[in-house]
Amino acid sequence: MTIRVLFFSVLKDITGADEVPIECPEGSTMADLLEIAFQRWPKLREWDRSLLLALDQTYAKRDAVLHDGAEVAVMPPVQGG
């Protein structure tokens, strides 16, 4: 299945793109998707502990199950001032 993955802020710089399609096996979770992304962009793993994730525009945990055509947003921690 194909997942539409959006990267924001500094994560766009790491991946070189603001949006990429990633192929995942059926039944994959957000954690599975992240592992695929970490293998593709090893420097992204440095942000692992602080990533914010959304599935179809709703914040999600790593155990959320993905579906074909899902939109996943991967964001660095929110900073305010």
pTM score, whole prediction: 0.93
Q: Which domains does the chain have, with CATH numbers?
A: 2-75 (3.10.20.30)
Q: Could you tell me what percent of the chain has a pLDDT over 90?
A: 94
Summarised one tens digit per residue, pLDDT across range 40-49 is 999 999 999 9
Burial class (CB in 10 A: 0-12, 13-18, 19+), 61: exposed
Summarised one tens digit per residue, pLDDT across range 42-77 is 999 999 999 999 999 999 999 999 999 999 999 998
**Would the pLDDT of 9 be above 70?**
yes
